């Protein structure tokens, strides 16, 4: 995920192990049912050790959210940067988002807890992703590839679509109960969702469309 060049000290390794365990336990049990004992047991360290690296339970939570946010954005940028056209980039970004969700259902399960656990963390998480969309849209708009629409609002709309489609088809699966196995968004759903987005963003004929 990152380009580890320097060797980790012993302490850093312990810290990293706790962080990984915390993500796993938070994802499985949610914030409140994830006790420090469970996290430290999963990490294979003592309870006291936890407090050598994190000031509180909330602090790990924040860091886990931060971490997930960094990783999902990285995945999206990585994917879309290799695309040729704007539309291809958009599809690649969404596909990366859904894939990340499928591989890390923690993204949802953890992030959606944030509202009450760590005020502001949720907003920060969404805002950062939205900024990526917005900047891309603004640039594309300047190039005439996107219709006349406020990039900020459009970006949030994309965020909402990604979030809900990810929840509906990745997290819940085709017919699966919540918590069950997750898989990627079915191709036809992905296509339909992208069609929806493309039409919303397509340039031209703005005047007529507004009237319909």
Site residues (CB under 7 A) for DNA?
10-11, 14, 32-38, 45-53, 56-58
Subset of 87-146 contacting its own copies (CB under 8 A): 87, 108-109, 112-113, 115-116, 119-120, 122-123, 126, 145
Query: For its own copies, which stretch binds (CB under 8 A), given 36-44, 51-59, 134-142, 155-163?
Result: 155-163
Which residue bears the tokens 């192990």? 17
Residue 46 CB, nearest approach to its own copies (Å): 14
Q: Which of 11, 12, 16, 32 binds its own copies (CB under 8 A)?
A: 32
Backbone region of residue 179 per phi and psi (left: phi > 0; alpha: psi in -120 to 50; beta: other values)? left
Residue 111 CB, nearest approach to DNA (Å): 18
Q: Hey, what are 117's tokens?
A: 């656990």
Convert residues 62-81 into a mask of x (bound to its own copies by CB under 8 A) and - (unbound): --------------------
Catalog residues that contact its own copies under the rule CB under 8 A: 29-33, 87, 108-109, 112-113, 115-116, 119-120, 122-123, 126, 145, 147, 149-150, 153-154, 156-157, 159-165, 167-168, 172, 177-179, 188-189, 192-193, 195-203, 205, 209-210, 212
């Amino acid at each position: 995920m990152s380009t580890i060049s320097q060797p980790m000290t012993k302490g850093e390794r312990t810290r990293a192990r706790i962080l990984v365990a915390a993500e796993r336990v938070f994802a499985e049990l949610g914030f409140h049912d994830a006790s420090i004992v469970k996290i430290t047991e999963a990490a294979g360290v003592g309870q006291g050790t936890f407090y050598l690296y994190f000031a509180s339970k909330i602090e790990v939570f924040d860091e886990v959210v931060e971490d997930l946010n960094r990783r999902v954005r990285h995945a999206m940028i990585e994917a879309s940067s290799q695309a040729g056209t704007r539309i291809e980039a958009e599809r690649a970004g969404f596909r990366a988002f859904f894939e990340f969700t499928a591989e890390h259902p923690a993204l949802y399960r953890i992030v959606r807890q944030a509202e009450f656990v760590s005020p502001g963390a949720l907003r920060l998480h969404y805002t950062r992703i939205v900024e990526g969309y917005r900047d891309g849209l603004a640039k594309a708009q300047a190039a005439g590839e996107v219709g006349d629409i406020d990039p900020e609002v459009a970006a949030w709309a994309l965020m909402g679509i990604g979030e809900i489609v990810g929840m509906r088809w990745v997290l819940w699966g085709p017919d699966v109960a919540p918590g069950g196995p997750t898989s990627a968004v079915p191709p036809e759903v992905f296509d339909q969702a992208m069609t929806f987005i493309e039409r919303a963003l397509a340039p031209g004929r703005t005047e007529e469309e507004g009237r319909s």
